[in-house]
Amino acid sequence: MATNCGEASIVSVITDLQSTLSGQIVVEVVCHNAGIKMFMTIAAAFAVSIAFVVHYICQSLFFSPLAGIPGPKSFALTKWRLAFEDYKGTRTRKLHALHEQYGPVVLNMFSFSSVKRHGDRKKLFAHAYAKSTILKGETARTIETKARKFIELLERERDGRSIDIFPTLHYVSLDNITEFVYGDAGKTACLDSVEKDRALRDIMATGSRRFTWFMVHHPKFTTWLYSRTGLMGCIARRFYPLQEPIPYTDIKLHAMKAFRTFSNFSTEEKAKQSSLISKLWNHRSTQKEGGLDDLDIASECADHLDGGIDTTSDTLMFAIWSLSRPKHEKIQQRLINEVRNLSEDELNTDGIPRTEVASKLEYVDAVIKETLRLFAPLPASQPRSLPKDTTIDGYPIPARTVVSISPYIQHRNEDVFRDPLTFDPGRWLDPSQDAAQMNKLFWAFSSGGRMCIGMHLAMAQMTTFLAALYRKYTTEPRDGFDIVSPGITSRFEVFYDESCSGVREHQCQIVFKPQ
């Protein structure tokens, strides 16, 4: 009887046994049949799973429209392979190695998405960031004033010792961008040693990389985790990728406070402002349909504030550090010679090179450009996608595929940049080098419709700052910073000069000596 396992057999067995035996055998037969059915169900599920995996692997490696793009198979199979590099903080250097191995196109998985909406919004404040606007008028005077205040800070705090320029250059960029964006409603005074403004230091936190990784790769879970309150919040806090305060929290609070302050200004006070927020507010008040609401204005200004701090300060730090190294003594002296040759007419009343003049200094510009080439403030992958099919380097790319370009990798192309790891500002002025190709690959500010709108503001700040600084001082590294590189945090990674023996994240000790 134990071998009769079909449905008909079970029924007949039950009928025969009801009059003669206990129900135990019936249970055994039924259970035996159920066990077989469960086994068959599991086996079928396993087979389906195997078939799905095989189909996924075959689709990814052989039949996908992207299958022809070269690269490691593990990266083609799953986005988590690249996410693992993110977690280790080695994404950009790994991609650089893959490009050197496989060529200019490598396969990996991994604000406004509409080009028109992005373009329309950009038009609202394009004039404020125009080069002609930046180099003259109120913005230029602000830039010159901040350069003077930094020199005054050096005179107060230097006292024959080195200064950590990582935080102090953040003071410069913070004071510049807050005045540009918010004017009297939210400008900071870090260079005047106002402690409440200097307390906005969550932008310099080094522990943000793990938090950023979770926000990028597990956004819903991370948002849910940080939104828990009460008892659940106490439990959730033990699992935070980063304990509070979260980086940029204070900056965002400052942005909200500045917006409220501006909102409370009278109409006359608003009209007197030349800040970015005033220009957006004017658009709000004159456009009854399709204009910006309060949230649009507050969010837009906060984004511009975020984007204008680290980028400028980090570039200036690497520029000063590079110029200060003993092996670059001739480079520093050439820059000093250029800025010392400025006439009195080219200086403002405080003795600071006028912004418009500084922007035309060829060697100063070359120093900044070479710094941006080696130490782009956003060196990692910058994603892009198109709503239609396209072709990249001969490979068909389906619509809505995310592709990325990395300035770090672009700027180390040996076919275009001779000795790519060498700091050589002269390459940008050397007629024997292919300037057209170098400029084509130069991607520190991105390119196209999503090119950095603050490029002219950043360049004006940096050229004026370096010209003013090296008219007064020479610089040299301190505490081993000739052989140890300063490092900056960028999303999941720390970037530094890889030719050095070590790195000190968010620190750079420099000695300033009056000329």
- What is the separation, in whole angstroms, between the first and last Cα of the chain? 106
Q: What CATH number does residue 424 fall under?
A: 1.10.630.10
Q: Alpha carbon of 391 to those of 103, 233, 484: distances in Å?
A: 16, 48, 43
Q: Specify if 39 maps to a domain.
A: no
Q: What's at 291, amino acid-wise?
A: G
Q: Specify if 200 maps to a domain.
A: yes
CA 167 to chain centre: 19
- Contact assessment for residue 67 and residue 61, using Cβ atoms and an 8 Å cutoff: yes
How many other CB atoms are found less than 10 A from the CB of residue 30?
Answer: 15
Q: Specify if 486 maps to a domain.
A: yes
Q: Specify if 2 maps to a domain.
A: no
Q: Specify if 248 maps to a domain.
A: yes
Report the alpha-carbon angle 266-267-272, nearest 5: 100
Q: Specify if 325 maps to a domain.
A: yes
The domain tally of the chain equals 1
234 is in an annotated binding site: no
**H or E stretch at 164:** strand 163-164
Here the tokens at position 274 are 């030349």
- Contact assessment for residue 222 and residue 171, using Cβ atoms and an 8 Å cutoff: no
Here the tokens at position 417 are 């940049």
pLDDT per residue as tens, the chain (515 positions): 333 444 433 333 333 434 444 445 444 555 566 677 777 778 777 777 777 666 556 665 666 767 777 778 777 777 878 888 888 888 888 888 888 887 787 765 544 455 666 666 777 777 889 999 999 889 999 999 999 999 999 988 766 678 999 999 999 999 999 999 999 999 999 999 999 898 776 666 666 788 888 888 888 998 899 899 999 989 988 888 876 666 667 888 899 999 999 999 998 899 888 899 998 888 775 555 556 788 888 888 988 998 888 889 999 999 999 999 999 999 999 999 999 999 999 999 999 999 999 999 999 999 999 999 999 988 777 777 778 898 888 888 888 888 888 899 999 999 999 999 999 999 999 999 999 999 999 999 988 777 888 999 999 999 999 999 999 999 999 878 889 999 998 878 889 998 998 999 999 999 999 98
Q: Specify if 139 maps to a domain.
A: yes
Backbone angles phi, psi at 475, to 5 degrees: -135, 150
Q: Specify if 102 maps to a domain.
A: no
Here the tokens at position 130 are 């125009």
- Structural domain range at position 391: 118-205+244-514
Q: Are strands 493-495 and 403-405 parallel, antiparallel or unpaired?
A: unpaired
Helix, strand or coil for residue 367? helix
What are the pLDDT digits (tens) for 399-444?
888 888 889 999 999 999 999 999 999 999 999 999 999 999 999 9
Half-sphere exposure of 375 (CA within 13 A, CB side): 31
Here the tokens at position 81 are 């392979």
Tell me the sheet residues that pair with 148.
none
